A and B are shown apart, each in its own frame.
Chain A
């Protein structure tokens, strides 16, 4: 028997969307947001049982962190399980939370990060910089709104209706989706290397002759400089002790030195 009305469930979904990260902190990360989201559930299910309420509050204070949209599924499952099992189900929920948050974060970051960040981001960047067009950012905004108003409620409902069985039925589909999204992401990056990385060589003068290095580069490969630079960065970033901020510094240094001597030009 459902103890929560449709309206109450929507309100709980909204609580998670709004509250999951506003209290994010280094100690418990989304833990405080999760606890705060669950408060109406705890009050409704254990309000009259002081011991159960105390236990639920403590358990839901635990460390939690996942990709927020994937969190919708976990919160939905949690509510369904506690609604059916009551205070006896709290330990089950705690185990589900801590075992799902890691894998769900990985899947969510790839799917939402790749689709949102890479694909829609790349289209928006390309159109903004190369065509001075607002169309790309409009498409990205439509995606963001679709995630908020369509996808996230859907994921919450999926978690609530299917409970734990969802994990087994969805596991291979999620893995397939992640792999498919990764291929799409890598392909778009290949395109963006061509349009956005503007490595243009200058000319050198030796033995009284001037050699235009860019003309030479074009004979090898279009966007040869871009391929060379990304290859160099990829190799550097794989080295020990290297991180993205150091890489940023190195690339700026290369640009300043080679730009000063006009070996790289606009």
Chain B
């Protein structure tokens, strides 16, 4: 499925601006699901974008930018897959066949932006010596250029040249491999959840892990319901910990 020029332009601009939102206001423009939906609207199939974004988001639930590390760029992947899939028929295999490589390859653009901004840092250091306050602020603002280009450029190139490449690859891929990619799409959320479990104090909270699993697997409680039960547990834990701390103060 090829895109019109205006669609490529709109998506490229969105990608650049969304990155700036992710760095500052964080209302979610750069979110994986939101990007999928927006791309879906632009190509005329928002539900496709919702499913693509939701699936890719499930791979990335455990991956935040903790401490400024570069992580696979599933946002760009959501945009690309939604733009080229053309419909919900082949979307499962597309998500892993094209989404994962795009997400991984575009990490380097993030690294490049973080590196490019050191130049503005050095320039700002010179204005610190001269006390030129306006120029210091300008150097900080100039950082928006590498940041937005780091998302806009890969989106532009992927959307401009990707669809043709995808058509060629699709012709060559055997059916068994396609089946494998569809399976990958279904089981990959395990990776994201594992990263989360490694980040959280899981061993200490094993009881809650089992509880969450049982509520859904045996009792078919929706995830929203489990979150509410978890919220109730969190309130009880918070109360218990804060009360015992106050009690300790009295003892002293």
Contact = CB atoms under 8 A, between A and B. Distances in A.
| Interface of B (DSSP majority class) | helix
B3 interface: no
Contacts of B210: 190
A199 B187 contact: yes
A260 B31 CA distance: 33
A252 B188 contact: yes
Interface in A178-195: 179-195
A252 B121 contact: no
Interface stretch (A92-100, A113-121, A205-213): A113-121
A39 B137 contact: yes
Interface stretch (B10-18, B45-53, B159-167): B45-53
Contact of A183 (B31, B184, B194, B205): B205
Interface string A97-116: 00000000100011001100
A147 B63 CA distance: 20
B67 A182 contact: no
Interface string B131-147: 10100110111111001
A23 interface: yes
Contact of A234 (B122, B139, B194): B194
A229 interface: yes
Contact of A25 (B24, B114, B141): B114
A144 to B, nearest CB: 5
- Please name the 3 residue pairs, one residue from A and one from B, whose CB atoms are nearest each other, closest first: A190-B212, A128-B54, A259-B180
Interface of B: 20, 23-28, 31, 33-34, 37, 47, 50-51, 53-55, 57-59, 61-64, 66-68, 72, 92, 96, 100, 104, 114-118, 120-122, 124-125, 128, 131, 133, 136-137, 139-144, 147, 176-177, 179-184, 186-191, 193-202, 204-206, 208-218, 221-224, 226-227, 229-231, 233-235, 237-238, 241-242, 245
Interface of A: 17-29, 31-33, 35-36, 39, 42-43, 50, 53-54, 57-58, 61, 65, 68, 105, 109-110, 113-114, 117-119, 121-129, 132, 134, 136-137, 140-141, 144-145, 147-148, 172-173, 175-177, 179-200, 221-223, 226-227, 229-230, 233-234, 237-238, 244-245, 247-248, 251-252, 254-260, 262, 264-266
